[in-house]
Amino acid sequence: METSQEHEHPQWEVVIGLEIHAQLATKSKIFSGAATAYGASPNTQACAVDLGLPGVLPVLNEEAVRMAVKFGMAIEAEIAPYSVFARKNYFYPDLPKGYQISQFELPIVGNGHMDINVDGSSKRVGITRAHLEEDAGKSLHEDFHGLTGIDLNRAGTPLLEIVSEPDMRSAKEAVAYMRKLHNLVRWIGICDGNMQEGSFRCDANVSVRPRGQQAFGTRAEIKNINSFKFVEKAINHEVDRQIQLIESGGKIVQETRLYDSVKDETRSMRSKEEANDYRYFPDPDLLPVSVSDEFKAHIKALLPELPDTRKLRFNEQYQLDTENADILTASRSLADYFETLVKESSCEAKMCANWMTGDLIAALNKANLEITESPITSQRLAGLLQRINDNTISGKIAKQVFEGMWHSTATADEIITEKGLKQITDTGAIEAVIDQIIADNSKQVEQYRDGNEKVFAFFVGQVMKAMQGKANPGEVNKILKTKLK
Ligand code: ADP
Ligand code: MG
């Protein structure tokens, strides 16, 4: 679509800051014991605390704190020794208490960063803060004629709101940052990252300024974008809108806008003047959160090797190029799959990487599957690569075996035996076929001997065809060369 593109605006610089809500993967809610599992029938997972009934008291879920601290450490942030929950007061039907519990002045995570890579150059994006808060319920508009239903299952679900500095300068950079964050939260196991279910969503703050100007322009905030594609489209659209408005003599007003993915446009929701005054104040029902050095040390010991570190190690230990290292660290499961494959197959890392980034990932994408759902486990794929390595089958036949493995639970060996795909290395058998083909194609033999090297491929093709692709290609080449001399 035309509007989704990034247009050239040489006189303007784009400024973007993202606020990302990651739903923490705790079993129970942040201030109650109700379950957080997605998809239950409405209002079956909301207890008295989530409903905001009088007389109840919230109790902080320690697991949520642990996850926030884990995140803080992964982005090399400051972890506040002392943070405070506040009440953010507003009225909305999906918020029965009349306030959301959030962290305001003293968030648990402050001042970290994330390095992104766009078009070959690296850049650091500052992360201002990450704070804990509870989610609100959900309004259901579709199921009831003329009425709105309220589902409070989501009320009280723990969220980590991750606020970036206004450091991004294009929609592409914003998407790169969002993708990296998405990888990281899943990598450290604090969020399932499911964007369709709303576990990872983004508000994009966008402004433009004349190139060379220091001061930021007035920003608009685009709310609740739940896919990478839409973030890119929404930002590019908003940039065009702002520039057009300013260039035609208008002024940007600070406001909240909604992205409509069907029309591919943003629309005003409310302006700053209409914005709520939330009257934040510390929640008297909750103690401040204190994080000790021992607690931090404990969490630090639990952190896995992080994506950037692992990528560097893949570069060095396995000599992977940056592109393959990038792809194979796009998720922790992919990286684990790769390392198991190398170990189990004892094949060259480069061969393992190529099979994964080529055939395997292509097949997964086509079937819309994650690596964790792959019908071919790393152990089974290792069995296939071993048979290529020991010359039992050629690389070409291997693709056929791969196909068979994809649609069954058979091992590579079982398929090779069952379908009789074993490579023929018996030189006698190959020679016999070659003799016959040379005898049948005297014209081509003549052309080859007259110096037409291209005809060689014709002979290779004929031999392979006659032997159903099973002849050892090295042997075929060798024997053909001698016989055609
Ligand atoms: P608020 O309190 O209104 O949410 P914040 O100062 O917390 O405002 O900023 C929210 C987000 O907006 C942050 O990610 C920040 O980087 C970004 N931001 C702030 N000013 C601008 C601007 N002029 N242009 C683009 N993004 C901005
Ligand atoms: Mg904000």
Helix (H, G, I), strand (E, B) or coil at 39: coil
19 C-beta closer than 6 A to ligand 1: yes
Nearest CA to ligand 1 atom 11: 17
Q: How many angstroms is it from 86 CA to the middle of ligand 2?
A: 14
216 C-beta closer than 6 A to ligand 1: yes
The DSSP code sequence of 325-391 is: HHHHTSSHHHHHHHHHHHHHH---HHHHHHHIIIIIHHHHHHHT--GGG-SS-HHHHHHHHHHHHTT
Judge whether residue 3 has pLDDT over 70: no
Q: What are the C-alpha distances in Å from 80 to residues 21, 25, 84?
A: 20, 22, 10
Rg over CA atoms, the chain: 30
Q: How many CB atoms lie within 10 A of CB 119?
A: 8
Ligand nearest to the CA of 17: 1
Q: Give the pLDDT of residue 2.
A: 41
Q: Give the pLDDT of residue 464.
A: 87
17 C-beta closer than 6 A to ligand 1: yes
Q: Give the pLDDT of residue 207.
A: 98
- Which atom of ligand 1 is nearest the CA belonging to 217? 23
Single-letter residue type at 176: A
Judge whether residue 310 has pLDDT over 90: yes
166 C-beta closer than 6 A to ligand 1: yes
- Which atom of ligand 1 is nearest the CA belonging to 167? 16
164 C-beta closer than 6 A to ligand 1: yes
The DSSP code sequence of 275-315 is: ------EE-TTSPPEE--HHHHHHHHHHPPPPHHHHHHHHH
Adjacent-strand bridge partners of 178: none
pLDDT over 90 percentage in the chain: 81
Least trusted range by pLDDT, from 44-53, 138-147, 345-354, 366-375: 138-147
Ligand nearest to the CA of 219: 1
C-alpha 445/C-alpha 463 separation (Å) is: 14
Judge whether residue 77 has pLDDT over 50: yes
C-alpha 155/C-alpha 292 separation (Å) is: 29
User: What does pLDDT average to over the chain?
Assistant: 94
Q: How many angstroms is it from 132 CA to the middle of ligand 2?
A: 13
Q: Which residues contact residue 403 at a Cβ distance below 8 angstroms, ignoring those fewer than 6 apart? A: none
- The pairing of strands 82-83 and 265-271 is unpaired
Q: How many angstroms is it from 140 CA to the middle of ligand 2?
A: 25
Within 13 Å and on the Cβ side, how many CA atoms surround 303? 23
Q: How many angstroms is it from 130 CA to the middle of ligand 1?
A: 14
C-alpha 162/C-alpha 21 separation (Å) is: 6
374 C-beta closer than 6 A to ligand 1: no
Q: How many angstroms is it from 133 CA to the middle of ligand 2?
A: 12
C-alpha 394/C-alpha 477 separation (Å) is: 14
242 C-beta closer than 6 A to ligand 1: no
C-alpha 222/C-alpha 189 separation (Å) is: 28
Q: How many angstroms is it from 58 CA to the middle of ligand 2?
A: 24
| 222-264: pLDDT as tens digits | 998 999 999 999 999 999 999 999 999 999 999 999 998 888 8
Residue of 100, 139, 152, 103 lying closest to 276 (CA atoms): 100
- Which atom of ligand 1 is nearest the CA belonging to 216? 23
Q: Give the pLDDT of residue 7.
A: 84
| 185-200: pLDDT as tens digits | 999 999 999 999 999 9
- Which atom of ligand 1 is nearest the CA belonging to 166? 16
Q: Give the pLDDT of residue 214.
A: 95
Q: Which residues contact residue 357 at a Cβ distance below 8 angstroms, ignoring those fewer than 6 apart? A: 324, 327, 328
Phi first, then psi, for residue 107 (nearest 5°) are: -80, 160
Q: What are the C-alpha distances in Å from 224 to residues 29, 34, 399?
A: 21, 25, 43
Query: Which residue of 163, 224, 235, 271 sits with most ligand 1 atoms within 8 Å of its CB, as the best mutation to test the pocket?
Result: 163
Q: Give the pLDDT of residue 400.
A: 94
Length of the chain in residues, anyone? 485
Q: For residues 276 and 379, which has the higher predicted lDDT (pLDDT)?
A: 379
Phi first, then psi, for residue 42 (nearest 5°) are: -50, 135
User: Tokens 């003549």 appear where?
Assistant: 446
Q: How many angstroms is it from 166 CA to the middle of ligand 1?
A: 7
Nearest CA to ligand 1 atom 17: 17
| 425-459: pLDDT as tens digits | 778 888 998 999 999 998 999 999 999 989 999 99
165 C-beta closer than 6 A to ligand 1: yes
Judge whether residue 410 has pLDDT over 90: yes
Query: Which residue of 127, 129, 164, 205 sits with most ligand 1 atoms within 8 Å of its CB, as the best mutation to test the pocket?
Result: 205
Judge whether residue 367 has pLDDT over 50: yes
Q: Give the pLDDT of residue 273.
A: 65
Q: Give the pLDDT of residue 1.
A: 39
How does 57-88 read in b/e, with b if 16+ C-beta sit within 10 Å? ebebbebbbbbbbbbbbbbebebbeebbbbbb
- Which atom of ligand 1 is nearest the CA belonging to 206? 25
Residue 451, Cβ density class (10 Å: 0-12 exposed, 13-18 middle, ≥19 buried): exposed
348 C-beta closer than 6 A to ligand 1: no
pLDDT bin (cut points 50, 70, 90) of residue 469 is confident
16 C-beta closer than 6 A to ligand 1: yes
Q: Give the pLDDT of residue 24.
A: 98
Adjacent-strand bridge partners of 123: 116
Q: Give the pLDDT of residue 262.
A: 87
With beta carbons less than 8 A apart as the criterion, state whether 44 and 74 touch: no
Chain-centre distance for alpha carbon 305: 17
| 319-346: pLDDT as tens digits | 999 999 999 999 999 999 999 999 999 9
15 C-beta closer than 6 A to ligand 1: yes
125 C-beta closer than 6 A to ligand 1: no
Q: Which residues contact residue 389 at a Cβ distance below 8 angstroms, ignoring those fewer than 6 apart? A: 345, 346, 347, 351
Q: How many angstroms is it from 99 CA to the middle of ligand 1?
A: 22
Mean pLDDT of 29-50: 95
Helix (H, G, I), strand (E, B) or coil at 51: helix
256 C-beta closer than 6 A to ligand 1: no
Query: Which residue of 219, 235, 238, 256 sits with most ligand 1 atoms within 8 Å of its CB, as the best mutation to test the pocket?
Result: 219
User: Tokens 């009320």 appear where?
Assistant: 155
